[in-house]
């Protein structure tokens, strides 16, 4: 189970963000992408999960080109971007259910409630997301990590808007996922003390 | 494969219906545009009867256009579109499910309402049935075409107006066939040919345009 990137080059319009980025991430490994604002961290993460097409190079997940994954390989990858994909009109519980439904995943009501409880949303499961704070919306999105069977997590700035306890909880979740043989690619401007020893990729 | 699409269909319909104002705006727009014609042209029944098929069809095309503006915009803004693009099922099927949900909640009401408005403009009997039938076959094509435009203009400033410029010319064949069918019926001429051609357009649009929508969405997300 590996995520491989080969001599990736990306540009946005006329701007060359980075080139020659390559790595192979194996099961149980954490890749931390570091770089100043505008160095292309988000673009790299979007390229790694197949949303953006690289100018050169290739990304392979489970041996397949990331832009042409089959259903099984696609299911094995979970992306969490800058935007939460949390619908204002729906409650956290409904949001979780819809998100799973769209991916064709199944879970019981108890599992979903449990995931929300662990994500620190106990008591808010039935309140439409528009009434929730930014941090609570983020937690709603992060609750997906608890019930998704995906092996590869691509998390873009997952710590935004989270309080200290939620950060500790998320680090714990990431560590457990890695122990079970999962892969994580992430980026953050905040301190990552408390995360298992990551492999670091510098963009400049 | 079916379950994710079913979830999406249910979610979209319930989002549109609970918001309510979308449905009301489109239906009110449709009715008001049609009532503008007698006000501008004058109340002579014979004149109104002559323009009735065209008036209802133009109003339906414009109503479809303004409602499609937001088809992907909300999902794009909150990041759901990225998640849909990364879901296991093909993006073209996802797009088709979204267009279907949109048409069921915002296009179908126009079809249901059209006989009443046609009647108000002086159409009668079989003409009303042909009007509703032509809209039933034609408005899904309008939705699919409009969805291509909506996907292409996502995130563009003034996207709505740009989309109208891109898409309205493509509405022309549907408009000609749809209004033509009712005109034929008014002269007791065979109208089946027009309806068959509309059906043929729908049969071509249904498998092909979702691919175009998916392509446009991928470019937007890139």
Q: Is the pLDDT of residue B70 over 90?
A: no
- Rounded CA gap, A61 and A128, in Å? 36
- Rounded CA gap, B147 and B144, in Å? 5
Q: State residue A79's pLDDT score.
A: 95
CB pairs under 8 A between A and B: 71
Q: State residue A194's pLDDT score.
A: 81
pLDDT in tens, B202-222: 999 999 999 999 999 999 998
Which of chain B's residues have a Cβ under 8 Å away from the Cβ of A158?
none
The more confidently predicted of residues B20 and B106 is B106
Name the closest residue on chain B to residue A98, using Cα atoms: B7
- Rounded CA gap, B184 and B180, in Å? 6
Which of chain B's residues have a Cβ under 8 Å away from the Cβ of A103?
4, 87-88
- pLDDT confidence band for A202 (50 / 70 / 90): confident
Pairing of strands A30-34, A183-187: parallel
- Rounded CA gap, B90 and B218, in Å? 12
Query: Mean pLDDT in chain B?
Result: 93
Q: What percent of chain B has pLDDT over 90?
A: 79
Q: What is the mean pLDDT of residues B108-127?
A: 94
Kindly provide the ipTM of the predicted complex, given to two decimals: 0.91
Q: Is the pLDDT of residue B191 over 80?
A: yes
Q: State residue A151's pLDDT score.
A: 93
Three-state DSSP at A122 gives coil
What Å distances lie between residue B204 and B208, B209, B211, CA to CA? 6, 8, 12
Q: State residue B19's pLDDT score.
A: 82
Q: State residue B196's pLDDT score.
A: 96
B17 touches chain A (CB under 8 A): no
Angle between helices B21-41 and B45-68 (to 10 degrees): 150
Look at A104 and B221 and tell me if their CB atoms are within 8 Å. no
Q: Is the pLDDT of residue A204 over 80?
A: no
Cα atoms in the Cβ-side hemisphere of radius 13 Å centred on A64: 14
Q: State residue A131's pLDDT score.
A: 94
Q: Which of B3, B7, B221 lies closest to A51 in CB terms?
A: B221
- pLDDT confidence band for B1 (50 / 70 / 90): confident
Q: State residue B17's pLDDT score.
A: 86
pLDDT in tens, A30-79: 999 998 888 889 999 999 999 999 999 999 999 999 988 998 999 999 99
In CATH, what number does A1-76+150-204 get? 3.40.50.300
- Rounded CA gap, A40 and A18, in Å? 7
B7 touches chain A (CB under 8 A): yes
- pLDDT confidence band for B137 (50 / 70 / 90): very high
Which of chain B's residues have a Cβ under 8 Å away from the Cβ of A142?
none
Lowest mean pLDDT among A14-23, A26-35, B127-136: A14-23
- The DSSP line for B156-172 is -TTHHHHHHHHHHHHHH
Q: What is the mean pLDDT of residues B96-122?
A: 95
Q: Which of B6, B77, B86 lies closest to A74 in CB terms?
A: B86
Task: Sheet containing A152-156: give its strands across.
Answer: A77-80, A152-156, A183-187, A30-34, A199-202
Look at B7 and A102 and tell me if their CB atoms are within 8 Å. yes
Handedness of CA A140, A146, A150, A151 (dihedral sign): positive
- pLDDT confidence band for B193 (50 / 70 / 90): very high
Which of chain B's residues have a Cβ under 8 Å away from the Cβ of A51?
82, 85-86, 221-222
Rg (CA), chain B: 18
Q: Is the pLDDT of residue B31 over 90?
A: yes
Burial of A193 (0-12, 13-18, 19+ CB in 10 A): exposed
Whether residue B150 contacts residue B66, with contact meaning beta carbons closer than 8 Å, is answered with no
Backbone angles phi, psi at A61, to 5 degrees: -125, 125
For chain B, how far is it from start to end, CA to CA, in angstroms?
Answer: 25
A75 touches chain B (CB under 8 A): yes
Q: State residue A47's pLDDT score.
A: 93
Three-state DSSP at A63 gives coil
Q: State residue B208's pLDDT score.
A: 97
Annotated domain spans of chain A: 1-76+150-204, 87-147
Q: State residue B99's pLDDT score.
A: 96
Query: Mean pLDDT in chain A?
Result: 91
Look at B87 and A103 and tell me if their CB atoms are within 8 Å. yes
Q: State residue B84's pLDDT score.
A: 93
Rg (CA), chain A: 17
């Amino acid at each position: 189970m590996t995520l491989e990137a080969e001599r990736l080059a990306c540009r946005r319009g006329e701007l060359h963000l980075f080139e020659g980025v390559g790595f192979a991430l194996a099961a149980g490994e954490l890749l931390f992408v570091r770089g100043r604002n505008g160095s292309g961290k988000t673009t790299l993460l979007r390229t790694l999960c197949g949303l953006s097409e690289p100018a050169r190079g290739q990304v392979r997940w489970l041996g397949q080109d990331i832009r042409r994954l089959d259903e099984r390989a696609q299911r094995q990858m979970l992306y969490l971007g800058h935007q939460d994909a949390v619908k204002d009109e729906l409650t956290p519980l409904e949001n979780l259910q819809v998100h799973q439904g769209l991916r064709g995943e199944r879970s019981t009501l108890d599992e979903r409630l449990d995931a929300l409880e662990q994500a620190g949303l106990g008591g808010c499961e039935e309140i439409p997301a528009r009434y929730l704070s930014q941090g609570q919306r983020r937690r709603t999105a992060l609750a997906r990590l608890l019930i998704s069977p995906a092996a590869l997590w691509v998390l873009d700035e997952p710590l935004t808007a989270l309080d200290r306890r939620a950060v500790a909880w998320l680090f714990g979740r990431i560590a457990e996922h890695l122990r079970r043989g999962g892969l994580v690619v992430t980026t953050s401007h905040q301190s990552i003390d408390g995360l298992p020893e990551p492999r670091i990729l510098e963009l400049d | 494969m079916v379950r994710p699409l079913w979830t999406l269909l249910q979610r979209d319909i319930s989002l549109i219906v609970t918001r309510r104002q979308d449905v009301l705006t489109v239906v009110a727009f449709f009715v008001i545009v049609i009532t503008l014609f007698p006000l501008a042209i004058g109340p002579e029944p014979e004149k109104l009867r002559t323009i009735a098929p065209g008036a209802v069809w133009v109003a339906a095309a414009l109503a479809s256009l303004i409602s499609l503006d937001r088809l992907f915009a909300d999902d794009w803004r909150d990041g759901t579109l990225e998640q849909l693009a990364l879901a296991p099922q093909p993006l073209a099927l996802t797009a088709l499910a979204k267009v279907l949900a949109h048409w069921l909640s915002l296009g179908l009401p126009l079809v249901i309402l059209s006989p009443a408005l046609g009647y108000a403009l002086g159409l009668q009997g079989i003409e009303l049935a042909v009007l509703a039938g032509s809209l039933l076959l034609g408005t899904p094509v309008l939705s699919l075409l409009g969805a291509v435009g909506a996907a292409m203009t996502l995130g563009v400033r003034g996207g709505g107006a740009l989309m109208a410029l891109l898409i309205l010319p493509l509405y022309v064949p549907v408009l000609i066939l749809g209004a033509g069918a009712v005109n034929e019926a008014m002269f007791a001429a065979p109208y089946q040919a027009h309806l068959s051609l509309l059906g043929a357009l729908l049969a071509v649009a249904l498998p092909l345009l979702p691919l175009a929508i998916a392509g446009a969405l991928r470019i937007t997300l890139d």
